[in-house]
Amino acid sequence: MVRGAMKFQAHHQPDYYVTPALPVLRPNQAHVGVFQQTHELARRMTVNGEVPKRPILALAAPSTQVLRDPYAVYEQLVDRANVDGVYVIPVRFNAKANGVDWLVNYVNFLRSASGWDLPVVASRAGPFGLVLSALGVHSFDSGLGERESFDLASQNRIRKPRPDGKRGGGPGTRLYVGRLMTSLPSKAMHVVFGSATLRPWFICDRGLCRAGYEAQLLHHREHFAHERPDELQALAQLPIGPMRIQYVADRLKQATEVGEMVNRVLKDGGHKQIPFGHLETWTAVLARVSEALLAPVAP
């Protein structure tokens, strides 16, 4: 598994390798030992010339139990494996559905990598990446308004063919809306853009979006490509951590208020409302983690 994956990546001349790895389901010797051996082999291949030398990101897929025990992951990488960073994708992750306690453990797991001097990348963070960045986890990836969750069990499940032989439909076009810190389905956004009350909240005058509201839907990928970088740039320009935390807290509060307006319009028109409960969850996570970060150190 490791040799095949590393040679495949080397063939495509990557800037860095992402090692394959089995999930770490328990913080015991059996799971941790396999995890360490996998990354040790990947590093050895770059040393002995089997593949060209490149920086290596160690893939870590921790379970909920292991998220509470970061030692089981990070300690295995700092000496023998000697990797350049860790790419974290929990075996079951959905920032919009996971609860406050789970997300607090996740944030703390990511932050604790600094104790081993390991850069960390949070996978599929989506807009929750803004919360992570405010809390000191600055590297994360995200799909273009999609691929913001992961469930290993669903990936392993055999998909049954439909009786009519057709493939199942996907989620359809979704538009990332910075005001709401949420990606919304195109049907809901058509209603939003049709409301004189809501439209002014969602003006976008950059790139192809200048053509009008519907252009955001028509060019949703291009819209995402300037919406998310602008958010991160605004956050990065703030000089200190407390200011970044307050910025994201204010963004979450505004998103909650605008979300309530959106759902009133959807309800009045007989349309399905959008669940925005994750915004309150993220606000609670931001408050709990930042309170611990900013607490004065006892003498």
The DSSP code sequence of the chain is -HHHHHHHHHHT--SSEE-----B-SSSHHHHHHHHHHHHHHHHHHHTTSS----EEEEE-B-HHHHT-THHHHTTIIIII--SEEEE--SEEETTTS-HHHHHHHHHHHHHGGGGT--EEETT-TTHHHHHHHTT---B---SS---EEEHHHHHSPPPPPTTSPPPP----EEEETTTTEEEEHHHHHHHHT-TTTGGGG---SGGGGG-HHHHHHTHHHHHHHHHHHHHHHHHTS-SHHHHHHHHHHHHHHHHHHHHHHHHHHHHTTPPPPP-HHHHHHHHHHHHHHHHHHSPPP-
Statement to judge: residues 9 and 147 lie in one domain? yes
- Per the structure, the count of domains in the chain is 2
Statement to judge: residues 69 and 138 lie in one domain? yes
Question: Domain end: 155, 188, 214, which one?
Answer: 155
Statement to judge: residues 255 and 147 lie in one domain? no
Statement to judge: residues 14 and 145 lie in one domain? yes
Q: Which two tokens stand for residue 101?
A: 């306690």
Inside any domain, residue 167: no
Statement to judge: residues 257 and 135 lie in one domain? no
SS3 category, 176: strand
Inside any domain, residue 90: yes
Q: What region, left, alpha or beta, does residue 270 occupy, with left being phi > 0 and alpha being psi -120 to 50 degrees?
A: left
pLDDT in the model for residue 169 = 46
Print the domain residue range for 187. 174-291
pLDDT in the model for residue 164 = 55
pLDDT in the model for residue 78 = 77
End-to-end CA, the chain: 51
pTM comes to: 0.87
Inside any domain, residue 222: yes
Statement to judge: residues 140 and 25 lie in one domain? yes
List the CATH number of the domain containing 17: 3.20.20.140
Inside any domain, residue 166: no
Inside any domain, residue 150: yes
pLDDT one digit per residue (tens) for the chain, 299 residues = 899 999 999 999 999 999 988 888 888 888 888 888 898 999 899 999 999 999 999 999 999 999 999 998 898 887 766 789 999 999 999 999 999 999 999 999 999 999 999 999 999 888 999 999 999 998 998 776 556 666 565 555 565 665 655 554 445 678 889 999 998 988 999 999 999 989 888 888 888 888 888 888 888 888 888 888 889 899 999 988 899 999 999 999 999 999 999 999 999 999 999 999 999 999 999 999 999 887 765 45
Statement to judge: residues 147 and 195 lie in one domain? no
Question: Domain end: 104, 127, 155, which one?
Answer: 155
Statement to judge: residues 55 and 106 lie in one domain? yes
Statement to judge: residues 185 and 213 lie in one domain? yes
Question: Domain end: 155, 190, 222, which one?
Answer: 155
- Measured distance CA(276)–CA(262) in Å, rounded: 10
Inside any domain, residue 197: yes
Statement to judge: residues 181 and 268 lie in one domain? yes
Inside any domain, residue 27: yes
Statement to judge: residues 60 and 104 lie in one domain? yes
Statement to judge: residues 150 and 179 lie in one domain? no
Inside any domain, residue 238: yes
pLDDT in the model for residue 160 = 63
